[in-house]
Structure 1
């Protein structure tokens, strides 16, 4: 088991090499100190926000159960969306739960069927459909296909049997792999003004 050397005497550079402190420029060392200090504080803030989210979600669930108990029943909507408002209407808390969906291998079957359709339709010059298909199957930086863009293809009114098989394959390829819980907080501007979202994203502060 190896231990990190004394940071008062050495620092590890980007290539993994140990560099004596006296060989590092003051400005480079000060920059390093600043970045490490900021990241340490950010990690603490990140952990606090994770704990806060878990606590808020638990408190909302407990309140919903309490509210339902007044009618001698149990709250069955833990997977649903909920909006809670303060008594004076100034503040609002929203909990939204959305399914996380992906496509399985059948999406490639659908793409092959669609490509066959486009090849057969070349003479008809259906360039709009071809552009729509190419856009739908574009991938992001992580190589993932956009769920919403692919599902838009199912709204195209084409009765071709092969196209319809492709649309069924898209539907079958759609898989729910979990859910994401979103919490949002709002404050009303004035007595009857619109609600303003209270951002917790540091970039929006």
Structure 2
């Protein structure tokens, strides 16, 4: 929860500064309307909402932060297609009541359609989206002193639907600040977890990803 508290402070600071920057940009007479492409670089925290059971033992999977990138094509000023993904891996600790037993890395990417409310030059523009994601999984490693020590761990790729809600705050016709939240729901029956090649459970994480970023449109 402390990671989300820091993210909340960063979000509030971004939303507080951006309107002032927009108001001071009196020399720019351009418009955001008609610009068809946008890119956003940011940082996000991924927090699993489900705790999988492995070999009959309930686990708790910690969240982590990573850099993110997105590129959008605006079909109109209000409708966009976005390609989004983590530029780095989210590292997750897998814990049981007796402590850490393993670690695993995930790197999600997604394609979604979005609807952006209000006019392109509005100071604040909320948006929503729905799409499809996959989360590559690698770096599975058992803790040497944990209950899974010495076993080879394998986790399948998670796939499913992703819902997005967010807000853009225009700084000027080119630059904008963004905050968004994404929920990823595995809809393929949950990826299998294997220990030494034998199925031992399901890796149902269904993470919530909270992000902030800075974007440019052109």
Structure label with greater radius of gyration: 1
- Tell me which interval the TM-score lies in, with the shorter structure as reference length: under 0.3
Structure having the higher strand fraction is: 2
TM-score normalised to structure 2 length: 0.24
Structure having the higher helix fraction is: 1
